[in-house]
Copies of this chain bind each other. A is one copy, B any other.
Amino acid sequence: MSEVLGLRERKKLRTRHALIAAAIELFVEKGYEQTTVSEIAAAADVSTRTFFSYFASKEDVVFHNSRDGIDRALRVIAERGPGDRAVDLLSRAITSGFAALAVDDQLTREIAPINHLIMTVPSLRARGLLLLFDSQQELAEALHRACPDELNLAEASAAVGAVIGGAKLAAFVSMRHGASPEEMLEAGRQATEFTLNGLRAASQPLP
């Protein structure tokens, strides 16, 4: 599992991290749109052209770890136990997806300003919504594959879209009304429960 990296690979990783760190710092300091790619590259001590061999666009730096949450959720679904019903599986998947956002360790310090950028800069918000949307497709397909007898693909899509859609909007609206990151997360969690309860009620009419 643990590869020994050659000098080339190590240098590439270092450059990548330098670019990310420089970019985030500049974005936070002087704003996303006010920061140019040249400035980021200069701060990381590479040429502007090199930036684009690490990231396809300026936006991509912000979303460099965007697959963490979805990968966790997919793993949870893949590890379905024999007694798991679809709703429970979905519940656990979403929870572990949230966990990627709410990491307790020092990463929080890095993640919080990035989330703030994503929610306040329109082009980043759009990109974030796109990534989340595409993740939901993966999730719906995985959930359907995990429980083919319980949910067809359309139902799985409706369920996944409903739970995430509700959580997303509730969290965002709470933020817009002045909630702290923790309160925001809590609003998302409550909305998740709210919707999941609805799904449970609808999917178990006769016990």
Chain A positions within 8 Å of B, measured between CB atoms, are: 122, 125-127, 129-130, 133, 136-137, 140-141, 153-155, 157-170, 172-174, 176-177, 187, 190-191, 194-195, 197-199, 201-202
Contact = CB atoms under 8 A, between A and B. Distances in A.
Contact of A162 (B141, B166, B201): B166
A118 to B, nearest CB: 12
A36 to B, nearest CB: 19
Number of copies: 2
A154 B170 contact: yes
Contact of A159 (B130, B166, B177): B166
B154 A187 contact: yes
Nearest 9 A-B pairs (CB), nearest first? A165-B165, A161-B169, A198-B198, A162-B166, A201-B201, A158-B191, A126-B130, A198-B202, A129-B129
Contacts of A167: 158, 161
Given A158-B190, A197-B202, 8 more contacts: A153-B177, A158-B169, A160-B169, A161-B167, A164-B165, A165-B165, A194-B202, A195-B198
Contacts of A187: 154
Contacts of A191: 154, 157-158, 161-162
19 contacts: A125-B130, A126-B127, A126-B129, A136-B169, A137-B169, A137-B172, A140-B169, A154-B187, A155-B194, A157-B169, A157-B173, A158-B194, A160-B166, A160-B169, A162-B165, A165-B165, A165-B169, A198-B201, A201-B201
